[in-house]
Amino acid sequence: MNLTELTITQAHNGLKNKEFSSVDLTKAYLEKIKKSDKELNAFLSVTEELALSQAESADKKINSGNFGELTGIPCAIKDAILVEGQKCTAASKILENYVAPYDATVIQKLKKEGTVILGKTNTDEFTMGSSTENSAFGVTKNPYDKTRVAGGSSGGSAAAVAANEACYALGSDTGGSIRQPASLCGVIGLCPTYGSVSRYGLIAHASSLDQIGPLTKNVEDAKIVFEAISGKDKMDATSTDYKFEEAKVELKGLKIGVPKEYFAKGIDKEVEKIIKNSIKKAQDQGAKIKEISLPSSEYALACYYIIGPAEISANLARFDGIKYGLSVDGKDLLDVYLKSKGHGFGAEVKRRIMIGTYVLSSGYYDAYYKKAQEVRQFIRQDFAKAFEKVDLIFCPVSPFPAFKIGEKADDPISMYLADIYTIPMKLAGLPGISLPVGKIGELPVGLQIIGNHFQENKILAIAETIEKL
């Protein structure tokens, strides 16, 4: 039995039946990381001591007979989510030596479950990017083809799960950062409804868009992790009192919307073929396929790259070299600010801060930021109208499979287009999942299933059905 290939449920059953211990399981994953991660670069830090001590505690819990599905299961955490006493760099030089003083709410919840934390995974700097090439600590490679990207910004988490370096992982999704790397690495990636999971302890990128979610080996695992981390948190005013309940939903009679705008120019022909084939399989099982229109989606990318940078500009103002993080000496206070930020932030972060500061500045606020917020309302309305006619929406996650490392690095616009299908639903605060449904050669392709607000149960039920087809 290869312990690192087990799903959460399989590992849980093995622990329950005393076929192996959590320490055995944890050691197997740590060994796997030592063997393969030098080349992959999915992890920025491996917390071996913490993991083994958590595994020992989990074994005691298991022996007492009072334990849950995540007890003793080794996971990886995106390095933008705080784990007390561990480094949290957000893959940036400005936080290279920052040690988290407290646990994020999702980490508190996982620790309560008795999970084992193997380490922190690579990400684009401050989660800004679609390829993990913006990390200050090197790119994460795709486990299916080491010359290609793992996607981003949760590329490290997706690659770790795909390469069996973790049983599951947590990532965060602002414009597509869970679903897009999940699609490129052939794993499950669930981006929950905005507010269903606490953001407390997640280093902020764009506060009205950020959401933590799981990356897993199958749909059942995503359900288990999501149920464990979701719910109201007094530390996050945007979180809602949401309790996940499983839904019995069948493909027969289900109304599936297919947005015509998502199959226009720019999509790889092979990707289109695989996604349409998945939709056809659902139809063969009795689903009713309905073409829908999301006309405002064509403005989503432009809208996102105004709202996102505006929030980035505000959120990243705190990294000034005074309270924490990198501090570079200067002749006066302003000089300290400029030098610390100048040395600490990478090119993409600086680019977005400058765009954000510009669109919020006097004389431009109405022309850009206010206009983008108005467009966001139109995008929300498009989805609301669509969900009056259909139960779920099926579409691609990414217009292309994993691209070569360096292929889009010098062209920000081309890189931004990687999230063209994942951004619209984020602006509307909706939940979505990436489900692997085929391959182009060796490269995985993901189907995106989008539901209405707080309909994760419906999405997961249908994703599980499709997974078995």
Active-site residues, by number, are 78, 153, 177
Question: What tokens appear for 374 in the block?
Answer: 């108005």
Is the Cβ–Cβ distance between 17 and 1 less than 8 Å? no
Maximum CA extent, the chain: 71
CA-CA distance, 8 to 187, in Å (whole number)?
A: 14
For 230, 236, 302, 349, 365, the CA distances from 306, given in Å and listed in that order, are 29, 24, 7, 14, 10
The helix/strand/coil state of 56 is helix
Question: What tokens appear for 168 in the block?
Answer: 């599951």
Provide the strand spans (E) within 199-349.
Answer: 211-216, 255-259, 288-292
CA angle 282, 430, 195 (to 5 degrees): 135
Burial of 128 (0-12, 13-18, 19+ CB in 10 A): buried
Q: Please state whether beta strands 145-149 and 168-173 pair in parallel, antiparallel, or not at all (unpaired).
A: unpaired
CA-CA distance, 50 to 360, in Å (whole number)?
A: 43
CB atoms within 10 A of CB 266: 11
Helices 48-64 and 22-40: crossing angle in degrees, nearest 10, is: 150
